[in-house]
Structure 1
């Protein structure tokens, strides 16, 4: 089983490809643990992973160029390349770039959608919900609290979150400690708390398709 990369590395640097597979998945660092877990559980040893820094989650204008760079870097080394990103705030530009480069991209606007299942997520009316995944629960300070300046100006909390009603924790794993941490994130934001066990959702099916076709 692959040893899991630490969150700090995935946030700041991403994850380099090993270069020993035939299929490459290019992903956001926030999905690395999940992708490795699905790959290893199915013994898809021919599937390799490289991840861009997860902090690009906070800078969507940089995602398309970064994905293009990785594809250009690795295109000659792999039989096939797939992109494990949703639109992630690129306004359709990432999908257009993937189509131009001839690589398949996972369906869905963002990971919250494909973790829950795109059809299920689309049917919900949750404009007042704020979502966290396993990774974002662990990295709540790095991705939410500090970038919004709440560590320095906690009085801004209600300005940012006053129109939200609940925090929805989409749990990929059944981890009591992570659930408690997610509940504390909701408390810090002054929001009601809901936990949904999603597992890997549509990501698992996409990976199966990528690995077996």
Structure 2
């Protein structure tokens, strides 16, 4: 498991700064590395990051209640601004309704594949309907977040049922790392899919965090 996966994590760069001057970012653990990298690269030391379990993507019904609780905790702690580091992420609009009710913003887009690509660019790709996507996080955690939750380690015959309609595995990389590319190629071979590599960097995530002031 990745260090950001299994539980809620708190990471505060400036403990002495009053919470009222900080922005509490409540993010999916699957993008924790990226949020921290963007924060460091852009001097966003006012951002105080809390990560919720990345595995909730396999159980999206947990995301909205978890974010709601995290918002309540941030308000109780006196944070002056709260930003939700999730796209819709399979909540079917429930997260948007929560954000509207609570008066907070979230990352624009339907999922991380879109905002890493850039939401406008992703919307224009009409040939990705049969693509299965990986990010850096999923390349690292393919076994823990794909193979084991789907039971493929115990029932490999299920691969055709889950992935029979896919033609390609598209690896959207945030950093250029040959070791991660090799992991992604191995994942494509395991699923019997063609492999495609696209380096996206952090896409729209940088701009979204820059406006979380």
TM norm structure 1? 0.93
Q: Show the counterpart of 2:35.
A: 35
- Give secondary structure in 2 for the equivalent of 1:48: strand
Answer yes or no: is the 8 Å Cα contact 1:166–1:193 preserved in 2.
Answer: yes
Q: Show the counterpart of 2:157.
A: 155
Structure 1 residue 133, shift from structure 2 partner: 0.3
Q: Could you give the per-residue CA deviations for residues 106-129 of structure 1, whole angstroms, max 9, x where no partner exists?
A: 110000000000011011121100
Higher-helix-fraction structure? 1
Q: Show the counterpart of 1:60.
A: 60
For 1:101-116, list aligned pairs within 5 A: 101-116=102-117
- Gaps (5+ residues) in structure 2? none
Distance across 2 between alignment mates of 1:14 and 1:131: 25
Q: Show the counterpart of 2:100.
A: 99
Q: Show the counterpart of 2:121.
A: 120
Answer yes or no: is the 8 Å Cα contact 1:14–1:54 preserved in 2.
Answer: no
Answer yes or no: is the 8 Å Cα contact 1:171–1:195 preserved in 2.
Answer: yes
Q: Show the counterpart of 1:190.
A: 192
Q: Show the counterpart of 2:46.
A: 46
- Gaps (5+ residues) in structure 1? 1-6
Distance across 1 between alignment mates of 2:79 and 2:105: 14
Q: Is it true that 1:9 corresponds to 2:10 in the alignment?
A: no
Distance across 1 between alignment mates of 2:171 and 2:110: 18
Q: Show the counterpart of 1:87.
A: 88
Structure 1 residue 17, shift from structure 2 partner: 4.4
Q: Show the counterpart of 1:4.
A: none
Q: Could you give the per-residue CA deviations for residues 69-99 of structure 1, whole angstroms, max 9, x where no partner exists?
A: 0000011421100001011111000001001
Q: Is it true that 1:74 corresponds to 2:68 in the alignment?
A: no
Q: Show the counterpart of 1:175.
A: 177
